[in-house]
């Protein structure tokens, strides 16, 4: 190339900032976000909440400006408080929750605060506002959100310094390539066919880098909801069969890379209505045990998380009729059945159980239904008082009020489960705020808010 041409090229590069388009489902806006706000062709930057705008398929709106514009500096996330879990009752030694305050996600608190403004009834609004003080997990479901983890950890660190109370931050690691291989609503940003495994490793590296900067903040991480459970039962689905090896190697990579002394990992184990069937229990325990053996060495794997985003009861004297034929008709029975099998397979038998939306029982037509179930209420509050030494804590993993999936049949992420008669409709895209659903969770909370 001639010098003049080079000069012209240089001038062009200087005068024309290179705009990197965000891929579909990537983040394109929100308070504190500093990346590109331009979406790939065919998708539109869509406001989800003050903290998050996302490139969604469709081009109805030609502008790419997300709202709200971030006029404030990135250091002005809402102040967060903390809450203490009770620690009476049987608890196992080394339970990561004991002696720690669980950090409250400012992101969820902001979602709740925005929702409260839309509730006219003062009594319900007050109950709804109280939800912001109940700890939920923060989902890192796209790599673009990982910098937020650094903000949360810095926040937790300053709370710890100012109050002297040790802080525990709860996260969900959720970005496997070909994610959610047996469903559609929660498919992720990476595909195996398109270098997804390497991208996933970079995502894990980014999380590990944030965590290693705060060695005195404790992290509880739920690893990849639904993924290994799908390998136990859904290998007949070609998408799951194709993903099996990458799911395993990627999970092992996460286990190895997140092996820092402040981290406690709980791999996801579906729920009693999935892996709790007699035919599935032993294969599930073998899969988890084998995975740790393949990883080699000792890692910071504490146990399993169950019932993530589901609606099952912790314990019940009146099993839901849909559970008929399954000995594990409650999550506690599932933990009790799986625990000894895990031990036999060299996998730590400790559990955390999501009860965020389990307040109301017997509301599903079939056990496998999971999408924005009608009539659900917030469930048992997070606590280490679980009454079962296998269960480290009751937690709220799914942020109640965020949709499980859209009911819009024309959406590429439409999953027919979200159109069933026991799902709340109309429902927005997975992960986006679902005001009507949140209000039902509040009014039907059990125990009441
Ligand atoms: C396949 O996976 C779904 C969850 O995606 C689960 O509910 C279902 O029970 C699995 N199918 C079978 C045949 O086990
Ligand atoms: C994982 O980390 C723990 C300490 O945090 C350490 O004892 C253990 O050896 C590490 N495992 C491997 C395989 O490096
Ligand atoms: C899962 O959680 C739901 C509520 O979120 C609850 O109704 C259900 O009982 C739980 N299932 C298990 C097996 O824990």
> Is residue 71 over pLDDT 80?
no
226 is catalytic: yes
Q: Look at residue 1 and tell me if it is in a domain.
A: no
52 and 126 together in one domain? no
User: How does strand 138-140 pair with strand 101-103?
Assistant: unpaired
Of residues 183, 249, 219, the one with CA closest to residue 415: 183
Q: Best mutation site among 208, 215, 216, 299 for ligand 2, i.e. most ligand atoms within 8 A of its Cβ?
A: 299
Using CA atoms, how far apart are residues 156 and 148, in angstroms rounded to an integer? 12
Residues having CB closer than 6 A to ligand 3 are: 271-272, 306-307, 310-314, 331, 334, 353-358, 379
Q: Are 119 and 193 part of one and the same domain?
A: yes
Q: Are 129 and 110 in contact (CB under 8 A)?
A: no
Residues 108, 51, single domain; the answer is: no
pLDDT digits (tens, 9 = 90+) for 299-357: 999 999 986 656 677 888 888 888 887 888 888 888 898 999 999 999 999 999 999 99
Picking from 161-175, 255-269, 305-319, 367-381, which range would have the lowest pLDDT averaged per residue?
305-319
pLDDT for the residue numbered 57: 67
Q: Do 138 and 47 share a domain, yes or no?
A: no
| Residue 303 domain flag | yes
Quick check: helix, strand or coil at residue 84?
strand
Residue minimizing CA distance to atom 7 of ligand 2: 298
Q: Give the nearest ligand 1 atom to 180 CA.
A: 5
Pocket test for ligand 1, best of 224, 230, 243 (most atoms within 8 A of CB): 230
3-class secondary-structure state, position 139? strand
Nearest atom in ligand 3 to the alpha carbon of residue 334 is 13
Res 52: pLDDT: 67
Rg (CA), the chain: 22
Residue 89: pLDDT over 70: no
| Percentage of the chain modeled with pLDDT above 70 | 84
Does 268 qualify as catalytic in the annotation?
no
Asked if residue 95 is part of any domain, the answer here is no
Distance CA 308, CA 305 (A): 7
Q: Does 376 lie in the same domain as 287?
A: yes
Q: Is residue 187 part of a domain?
A: yes
166 with 280, same domain: the answer is yes
Positive or negative torsion for Cα 322, 327, 332, 338: negative
CA pair distance 182, 192, nearest whole angstrom: 15
Preceding peptide of 150 cis, ω within 30°: no
Q: Which CATH number does the domain housing residue 279 bear?
A: 3.20.20.40
Q: Does 130 fall in a domain?
A: yes
CA atoms within 13 A on the CB side of 223: 29
Q: Which of 365, 358, 339, 341 is nearest to 350 (CA)?
A: 339
> φ and ψ at 391, to 5 degrees?
-100, 110
Determine the 3-state secondary structure of 83 from DSSP: strand
Structural domain contains residue 53: yes
For range 69-98, the mean pLDDT: 44
For residue 282, how far is the Cα from the chain centroid? 26
Neighbours of 214 (CB within 10 A): 21
Do 40 and 105 share a structural domain? no
Contact criterion met (CB below 8 Å) for 224 and 251 = yes
Angstrom distances, CA of residue 122 to CA of 24, 27, 125, 128, 285: 39, 34, 5, 10, 48
Q: 278 and 389: one domain?
A: yes
Number of domains within the chain: 2
Domain extent for 37: 26-57
Q: Are residues 53 and 105 in the same domain?
A: no
Confidence at residue 317, expressed as pLDDT on a 0 to 100 scale: 80
Residues 428 and 283 in one domain: yes
- Does residue 171 sit in the same domain as residue 51? no
**106 and 43 share a domain?**
no
Whether pLDDT at 70 is above 50:
no
**Least confident segment among 48-62, 121-135, 137-151, 415-429:** 48-62
Is residue 371 in a domain? Answer: yes
The answer to whether the CB of 231 falls within 8 A of the CB of 278 is no
Residue 3 lies in a domain: no
User: Structure pTM?
Assistant: 0.78
Closest CA to 214 of 255, 158, 138: 158
């Amino acid at each position: 190339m001639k010098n003049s041409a080079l000069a012209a090229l240089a001038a062009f590069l200087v005068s024309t900032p290179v705009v990197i388009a965000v891929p579909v489902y990537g983040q394109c806006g929100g308070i504190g976000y500093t990346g590109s706000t331009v979406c790939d062709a065919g998708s539109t930057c869509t406001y989800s909440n003050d903290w998050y705008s996302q490139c969604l398929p469709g081009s109805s709106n030609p502008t790419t400006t997300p709202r709200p514009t971030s006029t404030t500096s990135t250091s002005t996330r809402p102040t967060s408080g903390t809450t203490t879990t009770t620690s009476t009752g049987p608890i196992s030694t080394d339970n990561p929750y004991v002696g720690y305050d669980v950090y409250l996600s400012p992101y969820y608190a902001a979602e709740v605060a925005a929702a409260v403004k839309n509730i006219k009834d003062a009594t319900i609004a007050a109950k709804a506002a109280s939800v912001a003080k109940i700890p939920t997990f923060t989902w890192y479901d796209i790599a673009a959100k990982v910098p937020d983890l650094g903000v949360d950890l810095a926040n937790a660190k300053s709370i710890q310094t100012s109050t002297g109370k040790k802080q525990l931050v709860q996260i969900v690691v959720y970005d496997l390539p070909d994610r959610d291989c047996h469903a559609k609503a929660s498919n992720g940003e990476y595909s195996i066919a398109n270098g997804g495994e390497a991208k996933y490793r970079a995502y894990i590296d980014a999380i590990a880098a944030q965590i290693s900067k705060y060695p005195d903040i404790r992290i509880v991480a739920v690893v990849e909801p639904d993924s290994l459970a799908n390998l136990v039962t859904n290998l007949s689905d070609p998408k799951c069969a194709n993903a099996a090896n990458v799911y395993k190697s990627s999970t092992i990579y996460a286990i190895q890379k997140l092996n820092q002394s402040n981290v406690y990992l709980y791999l996801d184990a579906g729920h009693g209505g999935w892996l709790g069937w007699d035919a599935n229990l032993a294969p599930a325990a073998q899969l988890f045990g084998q995975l740790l053996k393949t990883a080699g060495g000792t890692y910071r794997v504490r146990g399993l998380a169950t019932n993530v985003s589901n609606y099952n009861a912790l314990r019940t004297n009146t099993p839901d009729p849909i559970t008929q034929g399954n000995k594990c008709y409650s999550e506690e029975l599932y933990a009790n059945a799986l625990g000894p099998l895990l031990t036999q397979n060299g996998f730590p038998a400790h559990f955390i159980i999501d009860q965020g939306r389990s307040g109301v029982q017997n509301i599903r037509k079939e056990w496998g239904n999971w999408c924005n179930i009608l009539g659900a209420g917030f469930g048992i509050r997070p606590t280490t008082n679980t009454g079962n030494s296998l269960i480290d804590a009751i937690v709220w993993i799914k942020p109640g009020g965020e949709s499980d999936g859209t009911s819009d049949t024309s959406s590429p992420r439409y999953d027919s489960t979200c159109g069933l008669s026991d799902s709340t409709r109309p429902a927005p895209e997975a992960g986006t705020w679902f005001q009507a659903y949140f209000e039902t969770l509040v009014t039907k909370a059990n125990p009441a808010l």
